[in-house]
A = this chain, B = another copy of it.
Amino acid sequence: MALPKDAVHQASAHEPFLMDCWYVAGWDHELIDGRMVARTILGKPVVLYRGESGRAVALDDRCCHRGARLSHGRVEGDCVRCMYHGLKFDATGKCVQIPGQDNIPPRLGVRGYPTVERDRLIWIWMGDPAKADAAGILDFPYLRDPGWRGHPGYLHYDANYLLIVDNLADFAHLAFVHTKTLGGSEEYAFKSKPTAIERLDDGFRVERWHLNAAPPPFHRKVVRDDAMVDRRNIARMYVPGIFFMETMFVPAGSGGADKTAPDKAAGAKQYRNCQFFTPESATSTHFFWDYLHDYALDDPNVSLSLYHSMVEGFNEDKAIIEAQQKTLEADPSFPMHAIVADAALVHFRRTLAHRIDAERSALKAVA
């Protein structure tokens, strides 16, 4: 399988972002007690807060008067007051009060961004607000399903989001990066192969079985059982950087691509994992995630153990990827060389690039 080199070029710090799509801006619990969250998204400083009405508000975190940070200000009802000279803005960003001045210019204000809250996630639309349609938000039903239990997580990466997407596009890295945490053994890279790499219009789907394997450490820690397992991962990655994964462990010998997947009664233990990558800037990323399980739902220590196993594993990725980011920044001319396992990665980068190009062409046509 030949892979054109230009299709796997490194993420450029100057590559534009896809604008007209929903990004995860935060978890709902971040906005409790009137807390204001200052978070830069796609390079734009944004302030997030929950107004008195319960509405999640997202505004430019920069007062239109002298540029003070609204996140240093105070929530009043659904409004925010800048605590430099006291200008007050409503939930749309319109200026509604200037202390000591009776007339307010009707168009004075800051930019507001559409938000949607769903299943504990706060989504934001950074592009053309006229195109913001909540129907375009990808559904991950396990976050609201009482048959699944998890623990919401957040990590910050000093790296371009696509380097993290790349990481998830080839599970061979489980064998080497996560041998003692999420992987289990190096044989995963040698013996197991994707049974299918499906190219989707907006991403890819990969299925991979690892048969007759020792249970990986994160799983063994909670099931306390060393018996050999068959492990199936089904991973989906969607534009611009949304990752859903289904993981199933069944007793060794009962799994495999050629068999009907065994059900719970047959001893299956399953996980559902969602990961959302939101660019902070071209060289840093917000990473929101949850790793849910479908058994022992009344034991809070299972969620907690899985949460900490994931943090441990993600930090293994983070060390490699942040070093990779520095290496690429030091020499932007470095030509990466594709291997066969990069097929999903290459398709994803192409798909995203086409979407961004299309968006920019449309903008030019209008202008």
Contacts and interface: CB of A to CB of B under 8 A. Distances in A.
A100 B187 CA distance: 10
Interface stretch (A120-128, A244-252, A332-340): A332-340
Contact of A100 (B45, B327, B340): B340
A84 B319 contact: no
Contacts of A324: 66-69
B320 A86 contact: no
A210 to B, nearest CB: 12
Interface in A91-107: 98-101, 105
A84 B337 contact: no
A193 interface: yes
A272 B61 CA distance: 36
Residue from the set A108, A172, A175 with the largest chain B CB neighbour count within 10 Å:
A172
A173 interface: yes
A10 interface: yes
Contacts of A64: 336-337
Interface in A164-195: 166, 170, 172-173, 175-177, 186, 189-190, 193
Interface residues of A, number: 50
Q: What's the number of copies of this chain in the assembled complex?
A: 3
A328 interface: yes
A205 to B, nearest CB: 19
A54 B96 CA distance: 59
Nearest to A194: B100
A222 interface: no
A170 to B, nearest CB: 6
Contact of A337 (B65, B172, B176): B65
A138 interface: no
B72 A176 contact: no
12 contacts: A10-B67, A61-B327, A67-B324, A67-B328, A67-B334, A69-B323, A69-B327, A85-B172, A98-B340, A99-B190, A100-B189, A100-B190
